[in-house]
Amino acid sequence: MNLGEITSHAATLSVAQQIKNINAPLSAKNKAAKFWIAMHESGGSYTARNGNCYGRYQLLITYLHGNYSAVNQEKVANKYVKGRYGSWIKAKKFWQIHHWY
């Protein structure tokens, strides 16, 4: 596939499929921890807002760079957690102690 074909293919994937692809590298335990955090942060809502935090993972609005889409939230959340905690499992353990992550 050339770049144009890849771009076209990505555009035709459903949001759910894009999210599935983003999370595919995560282990089942990391996926479960990510879901747990989402439910505790926003009830799973991609449009939840609390002050300067937005979305399913209640990320700082500045982290999303104006793109509030579910796909971007998933990508940014994975990057944030990997950089700060190393894994969603470790982020969940931190959350359970501090009630934030």
Query: What are 3-12's pLDDT values in tens digits?
Result: 555 555 656 8
As a whole number of Å, the CA-based R_g of the chain is: 14
State yes or no: pLDDT of 27 exceeds 70: yes
Comparing 54 with 3, the larger pLDDT belongs to 54
Residue 56 and residue 40 in contact, taking contact as beta carbons nearer than 8 Å: no
pLDDT attached to residue 7 = 53
State yes or no: pLDDT of 46 exceeds 90: yes
CA distance 71 to 8: 16
Strands (E), the chain: 49-50, 53-54, 59-60
Number of domains in the chain: 1
To 5 degrees, how large is the angle CA 76–CA 56–CA 52?
A: 80
Neighbours of 77 (CB within 10 A): 26
pLDDT attached to residue 12 = 82
State yes or no: pLDDT of 40 exceeds 80: yes
Confidence of residue 16 (pLDDT cuts 50, 70, 90): very high
Domain of residue 76 covers: 3-98
Residue with tokens 């359970």: 96
Instruction: With 0.85 as the threshold, say if the pTM is over it.
Output: yes
Q: Which two tokens stand for residue 80?
A: 């944030």
CA distance 37 to 96: 9
State yes or no: pLDDT of 71 exceeds 80: yes
